[in-house]
Amino acid sequence: MRRDTQHVLLVLLGGALLRIAADDTYLRYVRPSHRWLLLAAGAVIVVLAVTGLLRDRAGPPPHEHGGHTPWLLLAPVLVIALVAPPALGADAVGRAGAGNATVQASDVFGPLPPDDPAELPVAEFVQRAVWDSTGSLAGREVVLTGFVVRRGAAVELARLTIACCAADARPNRVRLVGNLDDHATDTWLQVQGVLQEGSATAPTGLVPTLTVTAATVVPAPPDPYEY
């Protein structure tokens, strides 16, 4: 492969990083705080590629290297430009297993938001349902936002939590019962309801049950993950 072709491929790769970091596309793959890392990496790749291209054009003809491995750099560019993979959804939750594997114990839970109903992240609702011995959720109306997951006849609301990027995504799930229409998998819902106390147990996979009093279809948020 010609060296100038390699430089052009690097420019395309760096441009692809800049492209997804310029809007909310990058939120499908990494945390919001990583935007500047993507911008910096894309800028460095473009600058190095352009510098190498100008240097080769100004100097003697460079030695050409055989092989087609550098063409692999084109793969992520084509994926971003042509496919634009969506954020993880119900399929990722299904592959993770039948329980809430992300539930961790906490010694102290802060007070719930004063608003009624209280709007909570799905992960916090699950953790409180499993571990909060003070019963802060008892009889309290809450609002959760997530996407629909179906397991047979059961309908669940799920949200994925990431530490760094989509590769380490872990699901948090809530079983929904009550006033609920028939919604397709991956439909984003905002649901209001009350925890069924004692539902988040080992036999249920630490998945709490929410008795739904209202459910509204909402657009998928620009940032689909929790942290």
pLDDT in tens, the chain (227 residues): 577 778 888 888 888 889 889 888 899 999 999 999 999 999 999 999 899 888 877 766 656 555 566 667 677 777 676 666 788 999 889 887 766 766 666 667 888 988 889 999 999 999 999 999 888 999 999 999 999 999 888 999 999 999 999 989 999 999 999 988 899 999 999 999 999 999 999 888 999 999 999 999 999 999 999 99
Kindly state whether residue 223 falls inside one of the protein's structural domains.
no
Kindly state whether residue 51 falls inside one of the protein's structural domains.
yes
Kindly state whether residue 227 falls inside one of the protein's structural domains.
no
The domain boundary, picked from 37, 61, 85, lies at: 85
Judge if 75 and 172 occupy the same domain: no
Judge if 128 and 65 occupy the same domain: no
pLDDT value of position 61: 60
Residue 207 sits in a domain whose CATH number is 2.40.50.140
The domain boundary, picked from 59, 85, 111, lies at: 85
CA angle 171, 183, 89 (to 5 degrees): 30
Q: Tell me: cis bond preceding 32? Omega within 30 of 0 counts.
A: no
Judge if 31 and 96 occupy the same domain: no
Judge if 110 and 75 occupy the same domain: no
Angle between helices 3-22 and 35-58 (to 10 degrees): 160
Please report, as a single letter, which amino acid is at residue 126: V
Judge if 114 and 199 occupy the same domain: yes
Kindly state whether residue 226 falls inside one of the protein's structural domains.
no
The domain boundary, picked from 51, 85, 119, lies at: 85
Q: What is the domain extent for residue 207?
A: 91-217
The predicted model scores a pTM of 0.81
Judge if 58 and 151 occupy the same domain: no
- Determine phi and psi for 30, rounding to 5 degrees: -140, 170
Kindly state whether residue 19 falls inside one of the protein's structural domains.
yes
Number of domains in the chain: 2
pLDDT value of position 159: 96
Judge if 36 and 128 occupy the same domain: no
Judge if 134 and 151 occupy the same domain: yes
Judge if 111 and 209 occupy the same domain: yes
Residue (of 160, 193, 198, 201) closest to 177 by Cα position: 193
